[in-house]
């Protein structure tokens, strides 16, 4: 089981939710996980219904069986200042650098440097040990940038190698790449059973593989139940309309003649969707990756839903 | 589903038809159908008689194909198949190409080549997170200046944060002609000025530190780049400012695009607030993928209860029901306020004809009801999310677009979205 679990996915597929559920699932039964956020969106805090996360690891949830989920919102600027402090004992000069826009330059404009700092911090948490020599966290789960940018984000080596050919940033990039390309890392892609996200997932898998980054699983999120299959829908259409109307009346539905039309229409749409989903599952199957499906939480995502998804992930074999 | 009376409906057609509307900017978080909305608006405006260009940033392949722009060449191409008096052109942004063009247009040949070959420039133009945003705005300015189109519809980049495209041009602009980059170039020049002494000390330490951190070659590349770009610097800030003012101008309309989900609407609310703070003209909110139902008066609870009634009936007519359990197994039964079918009515379903390969009518009907219950639950959740937005921003007009069961692949699909945007078809459909 890889200790660094990177979760990406197209916008709107719920990758933050899946990352959080995965962190919870992995923490079950006394484990410690760190959930890291790298895009400054405070999505984790919103999900766990807590105040905005500082640049500091803090416990945000307890998993079933006494495990703990800690969270960290990594801030590139702070990471750089810490780093400079650690290696160069900059002191107040750090503030002067900031004033001049040098920090801003290094963290937002110099291509790749920001990504090295963010992934570097996550890798540091993976490697960190406590005084007894045990790993500080059993697992680190990263809520990563979306599928379209994930390969570039993780492949910091290439980005930085073109620019910084020597120096600590270069060395840092090399060290980070060793962790990211090892079996100790798994990059999961979250998708929906819709054409665009599935296409983007397939493209993302291709890019990750080309960059020799370890692809983990495809996680299909928000899967809706199949109440009726296509055959059943064809069965109700047309000639059985009257019988359905009768059955509706018998079941206690008032004004069944007005409802039967819209209900059948919904069924036809459902059948169409089921068919589209079948096609998309086939596309995903061709990727040759383990695939997990998580149900749609009908009431909307909240803490209870998050724990439910964590339970689903455990049942699917995650964290065993 | 109809628009909540609390929020005014967004009238899309008058906005598209108004000759004063020259630019429509579609913004919102990732995965909400921004690009599709921009394309659908383009098609609709063209078919209503305007000469339109759609600038997309990173369209899904099939959406691009639906407009015939799957080749990325940074030039507007006319879209074939538009039915109506207008014209539609579409283009996909190539940020590196756009950046190169600026350089080529503003520097003599030798200097331009020096810049284009500089490693720092190459990374900056292809990789910097803000370059795409900056170039999108740059391209918008160029298209507007050409005066070839009477309406430009622009999609915004899939940013880390939906607000990046407002900030990135300024950030890049201020970096490129800012203090820092000049200090990098000529720290000695700054030393003489009063009050800058400490900066000078800081400066040499800083270039030293950055040099150590990033490697000396990197800084030399930056310095060469800066030297080559020197004549263009003033221009970047000016251009960023000009684009910014263009966005504030009366001919511009922002549409915030969202889906009826918590995160997307939260982002939309931020956006609305930010646009107001920047005095950018907001036309309204486009809410995509809204679910509706023609049978909305049948609640989820009643539908579920009715389905249970039928399923129990099936146990009876198939003859292997656990008779004693049947009554006990339906604690939910019918809610008191729904017409009770009464146990006496169930047996008459035993007369339904059944063939082994076909599910019974009761099973099917129960399925229809469960499906409806699921739909109603979605509706309720979406309504709740939407109400929260409307409560915060009652002043923002809203256009709801019914969810489609599948993705859009062709002009007909974009046209259908356009109809829904303009309120032509109520949100009764789609799974």
Q: Do A111 and B378 touch (CB under 8 A)?
A: no
Tell me the H-state helices in B251-342. 262-277, 300-318, 323-328
Estimate to the nearest angstrom the gap between the alpha carbon of B230 and the chain centroid.
Answer: 37
Distance CA B53, CA B65 (A): 16
Residues 6+ apart with CB under 8 A from B327: none
Q: Do B429 and A248 touch (CB under 8 A)?
A: no
B residues 280-299 lying closer than 8 A (beta carbon) to A: 293-295, 298
B residues 2-61 lying closer than 8 A (beta carbon) to A: 29-32, 58, 60-61
Q: How confident is the model at residue A132 (pLDDT cuts 50, 70, 90)?
A: very high
Q: Do B209 and A97 touch (CB under 8 A)?
A: yes
- Collapsing DSSP to helix, strand or coil, B303 comes out as helix
Q: What is the ipTM of this complex?
A: 0.83
Q: Do B178 and A101 touch (CB under 8 A)?
A: yes
Contacts of A261 in chain B (CB under 8 A): 294
pLDDT at A181 over 70: yes
Distance CA B39, CA B36 (A): 5
Of A251, A240, A263, the C-alpha closest to B354 is A240
- Cβ atoms of B276 and B306 within 8 Å: the answer is no
On whether any CB of chain A is under 8 Å from the CB of B365, the answer is yes
Buried/exposed code over B33-64 (b: 16+ C-beta within 10 A; e: otherwise): bbbbbbbbbbbbbbbbebebbbbbbbbbebbb
Interface test with chain B among A174, A266, A305, by most B beta carbons within 10 Å: A266
Phi-psi category of residue A10: left, alpha or beta, with phi > 0 → left and psi -120 to 50 → alpha: beta
Distance CA B426, CA B5 (A): 15
Of A146, A159, A167, the CB nearest to B127: A159
- Cβ atoms of B46 and B153 within 8 Å: the answer is no
Of A162, A244, A267, the CB nearest to B119: A162
Strand-strand pairing, B87-92 and B51-56: parallel
pLDDT value at position A90?
62
pLDDT value at position B122?
81
Of A272, A299, A300, the CB nearest to B405: A272
Q: Do B306 and A261 touch (CB under 8 A)?
A: no
Pair of tokens at residue B297: 């008066």
Distance CA B78, CA B60 (A): 19
A vs B: CB pairs below 8 A: 267
Please state, as a whole number, how many other Cβ atoms lie within 10 Å of the Cβ of residue A134: 10
- Collapsing DSSP to helix, strand or coil, B355 comes out as coil
B residues 219-278 lying closer than 8 A (beta carbon) to A: 221, 259, 261-264, 266
Of B60, B127, B345, the CB nearest to A199: B60
Pair of tokens at residue A307: 């724990």
Q: Do B29 and A267 touch (CB under 8 A)?
A: no
Of A43, A146, A244, the CB nearest to B368: A244
pLDDT value at position A80?
81
- What residue of A is the nearest CA neighbor of B342? A252
Contacts of A240 in chain B (CB under 8 A): 361, 364
- What residue of B is the nearest CA neighbor of A251? B306
Q: Do B406 and A276 touch (CB under 8 A)?
A: yes
431 residues of chain B, pLDDT tens digit each: 444 445 689 999 999 999 999 999 999 888 888 989 999 999 999 999 999 999 988 777 777 877 877 665 788 999 999 998 999 999 988 888 888 988 888 888 888 888 888 877 887 777 665 677 778 888 998 999 999 999 999 988 766 555 667 776 666 666 666 666 666 665 444 444 444 444 455 556 666 666 666 666 777 777 777 777 766 666 667 777 888 888 899 999 999 999 998 888 988 998 899 899 989 999 999 999 999 999 999 999 999 999 998 888 644 443 333 333 333 333 444 344 444 444 444 444 444 444 445 567 888 899 999 999 999 999 999 999 999 999 999 999 999 999 887 778 889 999 999 999 998 554 444 43
Q: How confident is the model at residue A141 (pLDDT cuts 50, 70, 90)?
A: very high
For tokens 């999120």, what's the residue? Answer: A221
Average of per-residue pLDDT across A55-71: 92
pLDDT value at position A109?
63
The tens digit of pLDDT for each residue in A84-101 reads 777 666 666 666 667 666
Q: Do B339 and A254 touch (CB under 8 A)?
A: yes
Q: Do B58 and A148 touch (CB under 8 A)?
A: yes
- Cβ atoms of B10 and B286 within 8 Å: the answer is yes
- Cβ atoms of B50 and B151 within 8 Å: the answer is yes
Residues 6+ apart with CB under 8 A from A86: none
Contacts of B298 in chain A (CB under 8 A): 253, 259
Residue A91 is classified by DSSP as T
Please state, as a whole number, how many other Cβ atoms lie within 10 Å of the Cβ of residue B115: 24
Pair of tokens at residue B168: 């990135």
Q: How far is A95 from chain B (nearest CA, A)?
A: 10
CATH number, domain B22-250, options 3.40.50, 3.40.1340, 2.160.20, 2.60.40: 3.40.50
- Cβ atoms of A252 and B298 within 8 Å: the answer is no
pLDDT value at position B207?
65
- Cβ atoms of A63 and B142 within 8 Å: the answer is no
Q: How far is B93 from chain A (nearest CA, A)?
A: 16
Highest mean pLDDT among A74-78, A115-119, B391-395: B391-395
Give me the long-range contacts of B321-330 (CB less than 8 A, separation at least 24): none
B residues 79-118 lying closer than 8 A (beta carbon) to A: none
Residues 6+ apart with CB under 8 A from A278: none
Q: Do B431 and A228 touch (CB under 8 A)?
A: no
CA dihedral A104, A106, A107, A109 (to 10 degrees): 80
Q: Do A111 and B128 touch (CB under 8 A)?
A: yes
Contacts of B122 in chain A (CB under 8 A): 162
Task: Report helix, strand and coil shares of chain B as percent, to nearest 5.
Answer: 55, 10, 35
Average of per-residue pLDDT across A296-301: 80
- Cβ atoms of B80 and B46 within 8 Å: the answer is no
β-strand partners of B55 = B91, B154
B residues 318-337 lying closer than 8 A (beta carbon) to A: 334
| Residue ranges per structural domain of chain B | 22-250, 300-374
Of B206, B306, B407, the CB nearest to A253: B306
Pair of tokens at residue B158: 């899939």
- What residue of B is the nearest CA neighbor of A240? B361
For tokens 């069986």, what's the residue? Answer: A65
Q: Do B211 and A169 touch (CB under 8 A)?
A: no
pLDDT value at position A302?
85
Burial of B332 (C-beta count, 10 Å sphere; 0-12/13-18/19+): exposed
Contacts of B371 in chain A (CB under 8 A): 227-228, 263, 266-267, 270
Cα Rg of chain A (Å, integer):
24
Q: How far is B178 from chain A (nearest CA, A)?
A: 9
């Amino acid at each position: 089981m890889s200790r660094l679990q990177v979760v990406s996915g197209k916008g709107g597929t719920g990758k933050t939710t899946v990352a959080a559920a995965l962190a919870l699932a992995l923490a079950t039964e006394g484990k410690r996980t760190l959930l890291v956020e790298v895009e400054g969106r405070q999505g984790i805090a919103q999900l766990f219904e807590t105040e905005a996360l500082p640049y500091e690891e803090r416990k945000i949830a307890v998993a079933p069986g006494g495990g703990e989920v800690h969270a960290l919102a990594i801030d590139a600027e702070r990471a750089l200042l810490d780093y400079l402090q650690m290696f160069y004992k900059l002191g107040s000069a750090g503030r002067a650098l900031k004033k001049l826009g040098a920090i801003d330059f290094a963290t937002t404009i110099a291509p790749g440097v920001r990504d090295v700092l963010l992934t570097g911090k996550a890798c540091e948490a993976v490697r960190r040990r406590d005084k007894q020599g045990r790993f500080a966290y059993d697992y680190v789960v990263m809520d990563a940038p979306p599928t379209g940018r994930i390969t570039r984000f993780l492949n910091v080596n290439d980005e930085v190698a073109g620019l910084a050919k020597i120096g600590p940033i270069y060395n840092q990039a090399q060290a980070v790449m060793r962790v990211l390309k090892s079996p100790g890392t798994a990059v999961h892609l979250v998708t929906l059973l819709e054409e665009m996200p599935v296409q983007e997932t397939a493209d993302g898998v291709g890019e990750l593989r080309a960059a020799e980054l370890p692809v983990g699983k495809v996680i299909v999120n928000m899967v809706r139940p199949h109440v009726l299959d296509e055959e059943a829908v064809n069965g109700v259409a047309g000639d059985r309309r009257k019988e359905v109307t009768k059955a509706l009346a018998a079941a206690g539905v008032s004004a069944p003649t007005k409802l039967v039309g819209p209900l059948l229409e919904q069924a036809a749409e459902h059948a169409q969707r089921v068919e589209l989903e079948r096609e998309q599952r086939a596309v995903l199957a061709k990727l040759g990756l383990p695939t997990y499906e998580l149900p749609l939480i009908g009431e909307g995502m909240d803490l209870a839903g998050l724990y439910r998804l964590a339970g689903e992930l455990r049942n699917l074999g995650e964290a065993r | 589903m109809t628009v909540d009376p609390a929020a005014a409906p967004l009238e899309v057609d008058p906005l598209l038809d108004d000759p004063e509307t020259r630019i429509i900017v579609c913004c919102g978080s990732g995965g909400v159908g921004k690009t599709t909305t921009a394309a659908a608006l383009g098609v609709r405006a063209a078919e209503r008689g305007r000469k339109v260009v759609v600038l997309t940033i990173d369209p899904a392949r099939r959406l691009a194909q639906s407009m015939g722009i799957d080749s990325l060449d940074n030039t507007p191409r006319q879209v074939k198949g538009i039915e109506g008096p207008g014209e539609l052109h579409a283009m996909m942004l190539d940020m590196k190409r756009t950046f190169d063009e600026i350089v080529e247009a503003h520097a003599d040949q030798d200097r331009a080549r020096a810049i284009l070959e500089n490693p720092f420039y190459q990374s900056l133009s292809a990789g910097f997170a803000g370059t795409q945003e900056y170039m999108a705005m740059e391209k918008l300015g160029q298209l507007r200046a050409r005066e070839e189109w009477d309406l430009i519809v622009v999609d915004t980049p899939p940013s880390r944060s939906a607000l990046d495209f407002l900030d990135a041009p300024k950030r890049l602009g201020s970096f490129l002609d800012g203090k820092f980059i000049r200090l990098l170039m000529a720290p000695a020049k700054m030393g003489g000025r009063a009050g800058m002494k400490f900066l000078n000390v800081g400066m040499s330490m800083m270039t030293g530190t950055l040099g150590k951190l990033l490697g000396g070659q990197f800084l030399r590349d930056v310095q060469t780049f800066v030297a080559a770009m020197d004549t263009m610097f003033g221009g970047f800030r000016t251009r960023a400012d000009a684009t910014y003012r263009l966005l504030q101008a009366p001919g511009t309309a922002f549409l915030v695009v969202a889906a009826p989900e918590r995160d997307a609407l939260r982002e939309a609310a931020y956006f609305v607030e930010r646009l107001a703070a920047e005095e950018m003209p907001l036309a309204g909110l486009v809410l995509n993928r809204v679910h509706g139902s023609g049978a909305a008066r049948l609640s989820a609870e009643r539908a579920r209860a009715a389905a249970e009634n039928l399923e129990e009936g099936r146990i009876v007519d198939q003859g292997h029901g656990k008779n004693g359990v049947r009554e006990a197994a339906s604690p939910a039964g019918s809610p008191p306020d729904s017409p009770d079918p009464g146990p006496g009515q169930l047996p008459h379903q035993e007369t339904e004809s059944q063939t082994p390969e076909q599910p019974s009518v009761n099973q099917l009907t129960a399925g229809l009801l469960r499906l409806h219950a699921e739909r109603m639950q979605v509706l309720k959740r979406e309504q709740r999310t939407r109400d929260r937005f409307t409560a915060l921003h009652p002043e923002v007009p809203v256009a709801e677009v019914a969810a489609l069961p599948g993705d859009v692949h062709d002009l007909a699909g974009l046209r259908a979205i356009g109809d829904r945007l303009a309120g032509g078809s109520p949100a009764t459909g789609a799974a």
